[in-house]
Amino acid sequence: MAWKSLDDMDLAGKVVLTRVDINVPMEDGRVTDMTRIERIAPTVADILKAGGKPVLMAHFDRPKGKVVPSMSLEPLVPALSGTFGVPVRFAADCIGAEAKKAVAALPEGEVLLLENTRFHPGEEKNDPEFAASLAALGEIFCNDAFSAAHRAHGSTEGIARLLPACAGRLMAAELSALEAALGAPKRPVVAVVGGAKVSTKLDLLGNLVRKVDHLVIGGGMANTFLAAKGIGVGKSLCEHDMTGTAKEILAKAGEASCEIVLPEDIVVAREFRAGAENETLAADACPEDAMILDAGPETVKRIAAVFEGAKTLIWNGPLGAFEISPFDAATNAAAAKAAELTRNGALISVAGGGDTVSALNRADAAKDFTYVSSAGGAFLEWMEGKTLPGVAALEQ
């Protein structure tokens, strides 16, 4: 992968059109989780330090090409300026006369936020005219929105073809971490894939069995694999119509010498609720009227041993119903093991995907991972081996 970073660009006195992802959760007009804003702060600071003028482009929610006042980016201005420590101005449109005027009036040392790019239908259609109107506002394009890079939109892909383009700090960190985990990783590599369903992660599993040395399958999707092996799973979440696909994945793994690690023991309950009465059984002993909600301690020992022998770990999806204790035990224990090995310098650990980040945070392990991606869909598509248009456009 060859892309330019901010350090490769001459930013002094230039308007730097910077694509960011500030699609943050809001309640009553206030930002409730600042993570995404904090993560772009280094890029904004470095552009300012180099004498550039950061003009932020971003989407918010899904206005579908129309102006939807409740999806305006304007309420984010106080949170942005509080985090960046400099004044943040706002332009009520991302293209046209309004935007041009605001860019022209932007003094050095300040930041300009443009209104929601998705208020224009040209954004999601990647309309060349829309991209050209954006590009006309500045001199350099900086993409710091890895999480939006799986979409070929005007502000992520189209504009990159029209201006000298570079990766922002967050984008560069994501790309380096992902390259270290799957591009040219230190072997052996272990992947953990968990979560609810096989059907949503088929491409992911198909790609990983070709690339990793061990694949740990957990969560609801492990039940489908157990069923594929002819093991009864009672009332567990299980896609019985996917057992054929699960068998194909197992066969592919065999051909590629990828070891599949499935639960050896299981924690079962009769109700899906926190604190539900439960028992730990062998993986082939799930009672007819029970459901599997977590992997058991023997499985965790096996996973820990695989982690100990590995140099690189890539993780997406919980090993059990981690939102309801005690069915978070396997996820927590495996996460703690990965965190410990990473702290000791024995493992490179990369994780991503919405539920995964909250599961690792719950386990208090995220802070010790080498890299935790804030991107959901883009991280998954990258793990699936797909080309991300926003990244491809930076590789020139």
Give the residue numbers annotated as catalytic, written as ranges: 36, 197, 354, 377
How far lies 98's CA from each of 28, 126, 156, in Å? 27, 21, 21
Nearer of residues 76 and 193 to ligand AMP, judged by Cβ: 193
Nearer of residues 70 and 325 to ligand AMP, judged by Cβ: 325
Near ligand AMP in 225-244, by CB under 6 A: 237
CB of 240 to ligand AMP, least distance (A): 14
CB of 198 to ligand AMP, least distance (A): 9
Q: H or E segment at 327? A: none
- With CB under 6 A as the contact rule, the residue among 196, 202, 281, 285 that binds ligand AMP is 196
8 Å CB contact between 216 and 193: yes
Tell me which stretch binds ligand AMP (CB under 6 A): 63-71, 112-120, 244-252, 321-329.
321-329
8 Å CB contact between 2 and 184: no
Radius of gyration of the chain (CA): 23
- With CB under 6 A as the contact rule, the residue among 203, 264, 323, 384 that binds ligand AMP is 323
Q: Rule CB under 6 A: is residue 293 a binding residue for ligand AMP?
A: yes
Residue 175 token pair: 């790309």
Near ligand AMP in 158-177, by CB under 6 A: none
- With CB under 6 A as the contact rule, the residue among 158, 168, 185, 317 that binds ligand AMP is 317
CB of 173 to ligand AMP, least distance (A): 23
- With CB under 6 A as the contact rule, the residue among 296, 318, 352, 389 that binds ligand AMP is 318
Cα–Cα distance measured from residue 157 to residue 223, given in angstroms and rounded to the nearest whole number: 39
Q: Rule CB under 6 A: is residue 220 a binding residue for ligand AMP?
A: yes
Pair type for strands 53-57 and 15-19? parallel
Query: Phi and psi for 210 in degrees, rounded to 5?
Result: -80, -20
Cα–Cα distance measured from residue 191 to residue 159, given in angstroms and rounded to the nearest whole number: 35
Nearer of residues 133 and 349 to ligand AMP, judged by Cβ: 349
Core vs surface per residue 31-45: b (16+ CB within 10 A) or e: beebebbebbbbbbe
Q: Rule CB under 6 A: is residue 355 a binding residue for ligand AMP?
A: yes
8 Å CB contact between 140 and 18: no
8 Å CB contact between 18 and 144: yes
- With CB under 6 A as the contact rule, the residue among 35, 200, 325, 396 that binds ligand AMP is 200
Q: Rule CB under 6 A: is residue 292 a binding residue for ligand AMP?
A: yes
Nearer of residues 226 and 258 to ligand AMP, judged by Cβ: 226
- With CB under 6 A as the contact rule, the residue among 54, 154, 320, 352 that binds ligand AMP is 320
Name 376's Cβ contacts closer than 8 Å, sequence gap at least 6: 147, 352, 353, 354
User: Would you tell me which residues interact with ligand AMP (CB under 6 A)?
Assistant: 195-197, 200, 219-220, 237, 292-293, 317-318, 320-323, 355
